[in-house]
Structure 1
Amino acid sequence: MRHGGAPIAALLALLPQPAWAAAGLDGAAMRWPYALPFGGLLLSIALGPLLFPKFWHHHYGKIAAAWSLLTLGSLVWLFGGMMTLAALVHAMLAEYLGFIVLLFSLYVVAGGILISGDIKATPAANAAILALGTLMASIVGTTGAAMILIRPLIRANRPRRHNAHVVVFFIILVANVGGALSPLGDPPLFVGFLHGVDFFWTTRNIWFQTTIVAGALLAIFIAVDVWRFRSEPLPGVKDPAEPVRIRGIVNLVLIAAIVAGLLASATWKSGIAFDILGTRLELEDVIRNATLLAIAALSVWLTPDEHRQANGFTWEPIREVAKLFAGIFVAIIPVIAMLDAGHRGVFAWLLSAVTTPDGAPREVAYFWLTGLMSAFLDNAPTYLLFFELAGGDPQVLMHGLSGTLASISMGAVYMGALTYVGNAPNFMVSSIASENGIEMPGFFGYLLRAGAVLIPLFLLLTLLPVAPLLEWH
C-alpha cells in the first residue's frame, strides 16, 4: 500500500468526477458494528505482539489488510462501490500519505546520525541525555530523538545492575512528552497539522504545561537514579576510553530542511489543487511530500553505510508502521463518519460525556478520555477521533475552543507513554533495549511503573491552577 498511492492517484485522476464524490458518507446511517474492524485492528496491534509474537511478526501486514478489507466490504454493502472508493481515496491521499511520508523521512534521516564514544552511566549523564532527548523530540520527532539517543544510553548503562528504569523514563520523556510542542514531535500533532492546525499552535499554547510535566519527570528520574546508582559497585564506573563524537552531521542539515519544507508548505497557498474523486490535493502538499522523500533519499546517499550499521538501522520498524497505519486509516473511515453525525450517530453517548447539557465542551473529560484511549489504542487515531468529536474545524478549535484542542493534544501526547502500544517508538525502544541485555518489564509491568509516575502528575495537571486550559465548564 505504501508504494501504490501515486499510480492509483494517476489512474483515478483520469476517471470522471461525479457529483456524489464530495458528498461523503452518511454516518447516521451506520450502526456500531461498522466500528468493529477499527476496534479489532487496534486490539490486534495491542495484543498480537504479546499473545502470539512470532505469528504477528510474520503476518501483521496481512492482519491489517484483513481488517481493512472487512471495513471496505461493509461500506460497499451500505453505500456502494463508487462512494466507498471515494472515501478510500480521501483516506489514503488526504490523510495517510502526508502522515507516513513525514515519519519515513524523519526515521531515515535520524538513522544516519551516530553518537559514538564512551559515556559514564552517572545520574548526571543519564539526566543530561534524557533532557537533551526531551528537547530534541519536538524538533526531530519522538521517533527520531529516540533512535538517535537510545543506543548511546544503553551502551552507557549496560554495565549497571539496575538499568531498566533508565529506559522506562527515556520512553516516557523522549518518546512521548518531549514531542508535545510541534507537529514534528508526535504523530497525533502532525495529524492535527494536516487537518489545519497552525504549525506553532501547540508551542504557544501548551509549552507551560509541558515544561511542568517534563521538569517534574526529570526530577523524579534523578531521585530514582541517584538511589539506584548508590547501590552499584564502584569498580563499574570507569573513565571514558573514547571521547563522545557525533557523526553524520549532514543529517542535521537535512532535518533542518525537513522543518523548512513543512513550514513552507504551511504558509504557501498556491491556489492550485487536483481533484481526485472529490479529494482535493493542494499543490503545496504534493511538493512537500516530494521534498521530504527527496531529503530521505539524500540522507541515504550522503551517509556512510557504517553509520547506519553502527546504529543497528533496519527498514523493518518503518515498514511495520507504514502497513499498520495504512490499515488504521482505512478502518477508521466509518468511525469518523459516525462521529461526524454527532447526536444523530451511535457515538452520541461519547459526545455527551465530553459535552455539558448546554453544549460546552468538558475539557478535563477530553484530556482524560483522549489520554486513556491513546494509551491502549495508539495516540494518532485517538487524537483524530476526538478532534472530529470536538467539531473538526481547526479555526474554531484553535481560537474559541483552544482549551479543548489543548486538552486533546496533551492527552494524546502525554498519556501515550502509559503503555508500550501508546506511541510508535515505545515498543521499538523496549525491543532495542531487550536485544542489548536490558531486562525490560513486560506489558503490565511497564504499565504499573509508568502509571505510578504519570497518573499523579496528570491529576495534578487537572486539579491545580497551573493548567488553566484544563477547567471544567
Structure 2
Amino acid sequence: MRFAAALTAGAVVAAVTLLPGIALAAEAHELPGETMSLWWTLPFAGLLLSIATGPLLFHHVWEHHYGKITFFWAALAVVPLAVAFGMPSATEAVLHALLTEYMSFIILLFALFTISGGILVAGNIHGTPLVNAGLLLIGAMLASVIGTTGASMILIRPVLRANDNRPFNAHVVIFFIFLVSNIGGSLTPLGDPPLFVGFLRGVDFFWTTANLYQETLFVGGLVLAVFLALDIILHRREAGAPKIKDPTPDTKIRVQGLPNVPLLAGVIGAILLSATWKPGVAFSVPGVSLELQNLVRDAVILALAFLSLGVSPKSHRQANNFHWEPIAEVAKLFAGIFICIVPVIAILRAGPDGALAPLVSLVSSPMGEPNDLAYFWMTGALSSFLDNAPTYLVFFELAGGDPQHLMTTFASTLAAISAGAVFMGANTYIGNAPNFMVYAIARHRGVKMPGFFGYMAWSGAVLIPIFLIAGFLFFG
C-alpha cells in the first residue's frame, strides 16, 4: 500500500512539474484540494507511467498510438472535473493551463528544436581523449544556450563520427548524455525544460546562472574528469588491439547554417524582453488573462523558428536527420500532462491538509522548514524515472510556489530543486527527452549501447557518488 502511494505521489510530482499552468488554474478556480483524494491523481500517474514504460515495453504500440493513449488519460482527468465541479470551471481550468503555460512552453521547445536543426557540424576529427573531452565541454556549455535537446542533436553525430573507428566508444555516448543532454543545461531557462517552467512561474532569467554555477561547475567538472581518466585508460588499451578502418576519415571541420545563430540570439532576446517589459496590457479569453508581453514573446519566437526554415538549406537538415516526429510527440504528451496535472496541483496546494501530506512531510523539518537535501534527492530521484519538468513543478509547489520568496528567503531550496531536476535527469534513459534520442541515434550508427539497466549501472557508478558529495557540500 505504501509502495502504491509512493508511486502515485511520484507520478503526481511529475505531472505537476510539467503543468505549471494547471497549478494556476487550480488556484484560480479554487478546487477544494483538501477534500480531494489520491484517486484524482490517477490520470496523471497513468500518463506518466505510460510515457516511462511505453517506449521500452510496448514500443510499436506506443509509437503508433501514443496520441490516443495521451487523449485517454486527459479525458479521464477532464470529465470527472466537469462532473464534480461543473463544466465552466473545468473548461476554464484547462484553458488556463493550455493558453498561459503550455503554449509558451511548447513554442520555445519547437523553436530551439527547429533552429538548432538547421546548424550542421560537418567534417570529422579523431576521437582522442582530449578531443572527446573538448567536445563534451563545448556541448555542455552550448546546452545552457540552445537547450539540452539542441546541443545534443547538433553534436552527437560529430562525436559518433570522431569515435567510429574505436572498439570502445559506448562510454563516450554515455558521458555525452550525462554532460550535454543534462548537466550542462542547468544555467539558464533555455537549458532544460524544468528551468523554463520555473521562468514561466516567475523565476528571474539569470537566477539559475547566479545560484547554480558552483554546483554545475563542481558536478560537471568531476564528471568530465572521470570521463577523461576512463577514456585515457581505454584509449591506451586500444593501442594493442587490431586496428579498425575508419569509416569516416578525418576531414576539416565546418560549421554550416550560421544564419541560425542570430536567430537563437533572437530567442534569448525575446525571453529577456518579456521578463523586463511590463506594459500592463492584457487580453481576456473566456476566464483567462493573457498578458501582452508574453504574447509578443511567443509570436517573436515562433516567427524566428519559421524564419530558420527559410534560411537553412534542406541539405543541412537532411544531414542532421531532422524530422518533425520528436517535437510532435513532445507537443502531444505535454498537452496531456498539462491537463492531467490540474487536480494534482490542487491537492499539493492544500499542503499538510491534502492527500499528499506524507510527501510534504518528507521534505520538511519538524519545525516546518524546508529540508534542502531532501528536496535535492526527492526531486532528483523522481526526475530519474519521470520527466524532470513536471517533477520540478511538483516540488516548486511543495516549497510554497511563490517565486519571489523562493528566489530570496528560500534560495537554497529552489537551487536544490533545480539541481536535482536537471542533474539527475541523467540517471536513466527516460529522465530527460534528449537521453533516449541520443541512445537511439547511437544504436542506429552501430554503437553497442548498454540496455536500460546497463545504463543505470553506469550512472550509479559515476553519477550517484558525485551527487552524494554535491548534496552534502551544497545542500546538507
Deviation sequence 1:394-415 (CA, Å, 0-9, x none): 0000001101100000000000
Aligned to 1:297: 306
> Does 1:27 pair with 2:36?
no
Q: How far 1:444 moved relative to its partner? A: 1.1
What amino acid is aligned across from residue 406 of structure 1 in structure 2? A
Aligned to 1:17: none
Deviation sequence 1:71-95 (CA, Å, 0-9, x none): 1112112211111101101110112
Deviation sequence 1:371-407 (CA, Å, 0-9, x none): 0011111100000111011110000000011011000
Asked if the contact 1:339–1:388 (Cα under 8 Å) also holds between the matched residues in 2, the reply is yes
Aligned to 1:79: 85
Stretches of structure 2 lacking an aligned partner (at least 5 in a row): 1-25
Distance 1:236 1:119 in 2: 15
Distance 2:369 2:287 in 1: 33
Aligned to 2:183: 177
Aligned to 1:10: none
Aligned to 2:296: 287
> Does 1:224 pair with 2:226?
no
Q: How far 1:277 moved relative to its partner? A: 3.4
Distance 1:343 1:118 in 2: 57
2:323 to 314, 321, 324: 314
Asked if the contact 1:22–1:279 (Cα under 8 Å) also holds between the matched residues in 2, the reply is no
Q: How far 1:24 moved relative to its partner? A: 3.2
> Does 1:451 pair with 2:457?
no
Aligned to 1:13: none
Aligned to 2:395: 386
Aligned to 1:40: 46
- TM-score, normalization by structure 1: 0.93
Q: How far 1:21 moved relative to its partner? A: 10
Q: Pick closer, same or farther for the CA change 1:180–1:89 going to 2, 3 Å.
A: same
SS in 1 for 2:255: strand
Aligned to 1:426: 435
Alignment of 1:263-282 (within 5 A): 263-282=272-291
Asked if the contact 1:21–1:278 (Cα under 8 Å) also holds between the matched residues in 2, the reply is no
SS in 2 for 1:358: coil
> Does 1:140 pair with 2:146?
yes
SS in 2 for 1:439: coil
Aligned to 2:117: 111
For structure 1, which segment, 97-106 or 152-161, has the greater mean C-alpha deviation from structure 2 after superposition? 152-161
For structure 1, which segment, 237-246 or 79-88, has the greater mean C-alpha deviation from structure 2 after superposition? 237-246
> Does 1:409 pair with 2:415?
no
Distance 1:195 1:304 in 2: 37
Aligned to 2:129: 123
Distance 1:303 1:234 in 2: 42
Stretches of structure 1 lacking an aligned partner (at least 5 in a row): 1-19
Aligned to 1:196: 202
SS in 2 for 1:400: coil
Q: CA RMSD in A?
A: 1.5
Asked if the contact 1:22–1:278 (Cα under 8 Å) also holds between the matched residues in 2, the reply is no
Q: How far 1:463 moved relative to its partner? A: 2.2
Deviation sequence 1:303-339 (CA, Å, 0-9, x none): 0000000011111111111111111111111111110
Aligned length: 448
Q: How far 1:279 moved relative to its partner? A: 2.4
Aligned to 2:261: 252
Q: How far 1:276 moved relative to its partner? A: 2.5
Asked if the contact 2:125–2:250 (Cα under 8 Å) also holds between the matched residues in 1, the reply is no
Q: Percent identity?
A: 55
Which is bigger in relative contact order (C-alpha 8 A, separation at least 6)? Answer: 2
For structure 1, which segment, 183-192 or 53-62, has the greater mean C-alpha deviation from structure 2 after superposition? 53-62
For structure 1, which segment, 153-162 or 142-151, has the greater mean C-alpha deviation from structure 2 after superposition? 153-162
Distance 2:303 2:399 in 1: 36
Deviation sequence 1:325-354 (CA, Å, 0-9, x none): 111111111111110111221011111111
Asked if the contact 1:34–1:335 (Cα under 8 Å) also holds between the matched residues in 2, the reply is yes
SS in 2 for 1:244: strand
What amino acid is aligned across from residue 298 of structure 2 in structure 1? N
Distance 2:27 2:258 in 1: 47
Aligned to 1:328: 337
Q: How far 1:241 moved relative to its partner? A: 4.1
Distance 1:126 1:344 in 2: 52
SS in 2 for 1:245: strand
Asked if the contact 1:27–1:338 (Cα under 8 Å) also holds between the matched residues in 2, the reply is yes
Asked if the contact 2:27–2:346 (Cα under 8 Å) also holds between the matched residues in 1, the reply is no
> Does 1:363 pair with 2:369?
no
Q: How far 1:451 moved relative to its partner? A: 1.8
- TM-score, normalization by structure 2: 0.92
Q: How far 1:240 moved relative to its partner? A: 5.1
> Does 1:158 pair with 2:167?
no
Distance 2:97 2:88 in 1: 14
